[in-house]
Amino acid sequence: MITLQTNKQTMPVSYSCGELIMIVIGFILTVVLLLSNRDVDEAGMDSYDRKWSIAKEGYTRGALGTIYKDGEYDVWANMFDHNPYHVY
Residue 18 in domain: no
Q: Three-state SS for 22?
A: helix
Residue 62 in domain: yes
* Strands of the chain, DSSP E: 59-61, 67-69, 72-73
Positive/negative CA dihedral, 68, 70, 60, 53: positive
Residue 30 in domain: no
Domain span including residue 61: 40-88
pLDDT tens across 3-51, in order? 666 666 766 667 788 889 999 999 999 988 877 777 888 998 988 899 9
pLDDT tens across 25-34, in order? 999 999 888 7
Q: Is the pTM of this model over 0.75?
A: no
Residue 79 in domain: yes
Q: How many domains, the chain?
A: 1
